[in-house]
Amino acid sequence: MTKYQKKYYPAYMTVPALVIFTIFYIGSIVGGFIFSFTNWNIFNFDSPKFIGFDNFQMLFTSPSFFKALMNVCIFALLTTLIKVSFGLGLGLLLNNKFKGRNFFRAAIFLPCTIGALVIGYVFSFIMQPETGILNEFLRFLNLDVLALNWLGDPKVALFSVCIVESWMWIGFNVCIVLAGLQAIPEELYEAASIDGASAFQKFKNITMPFIRPALNVTITLCIIGGFNIFDIVMSMTNGGPNGATQVLSKLSYDALSVGTLGYASTINLVQFLLITLIIGPLLKFLRRKEIDL
């Protein structure tokens, strides 16, 4: 191998990955952007026509869009609060040394390894109003007033899906928090103890500054995942009852299922722009809160 080949050999190895990334990611984004301005559907699959902003006008005048938008905002906010707060609390707890720590770490992470569709179908049976394990257990404890129609009541269904989604991914957030905690030098805590710092002072002045980047990562991923939610909604409620759990990804799926491909591309484009507009300023704000260590 010549000196020239050795110099550029690493670049050659990235070519297959770049090609795949360009075709399946960049290409799909560009294609979706173009088709969102057409009447592309299964009846004119080979000859879509440019229709300008007609798809966007149809979308923004659709009541189901604003219902889905409101639901996905509530979903993203609520699940982020649950996953980040519990992820931080459990991460702090599991960072301590105690018997069975590794078992509990594995148990908390286990739901992340199970498919969301499987989780959704299982909990749809658990939350059945008449025969579900959850309501049967509540009735056994004489708490009949808490035995609700978890997935059939429009006032409760979205929050039920939020709880299941949060339970599934809390372990992932715990792992990120644990990684941040284990990167903190133990000498800092020892020096703080010598200076007479309390446990709260150690948490405020040592733990939080060091794990803030990890928390920022969890917040960002949770919000992106919340706005992209689809599988758990699909398997638990299919967007019902009466659109109470309808989300943007499910709205796009419904458009695809009837063959309106251009309209589905419009929904996906609006969803992509919405996430970009939220995550950009959020990342800037979160990074300002980080301190140089």
CATH of the domain at 229: 1.10.3720.10
Structural domain boundaries, residue 105: 62-249+280-289
* 168-172 average pLDDT score: 95
The answer to whether residue 56 is domain-embedded is no
Q: Give residue 122's pLDDT.
A: 94
Q: Is 28 left (phi over 0), alpha (psi -120 to 50) or beta?
A: alpha
Residue 74 exposure: Cα atoms within 13 Å on the Cβ side? 19
Predicted confidence band of residue 248 (pLDDT cuts 50, 70, 90): very high
Cα 243 to Cα 12, 128, 135, distances in angstroms: 50, 19, 24
Q: What is the pLDDT of residues 72-125, one digit of tens each?
A: 999 999 999 999 999 999 999 999 888 888 999 999 999 999 989 999 999 999
- Total tally of structural domains belonging to the chain: 1
- Per the listing, tokens 């509530």 go with 74
Predicted confidence band of residue 292 (pLDDT cuts 50, 70, 90): low
Q: Give residue 16's pLDDT.
A: 86
Q: What is the pLDDT of residues 137-153, one digit of tens each?
A: 999 999 888 899 999 99
The answer to whether residue 117 is domain-embedded is yes
The answer to whether residue 50 is domain-embedded is no
Q: Give residue 197's pLDDT.
A: 86
The answer to whether residue 266 is domain-embedded is no
Q: Among 127-141, 235-249, 279-293, which is the least confidently predicted range? A: 279-293
Cα–Cα distance for residue pair 249/68, rounded to 1 Å: 9
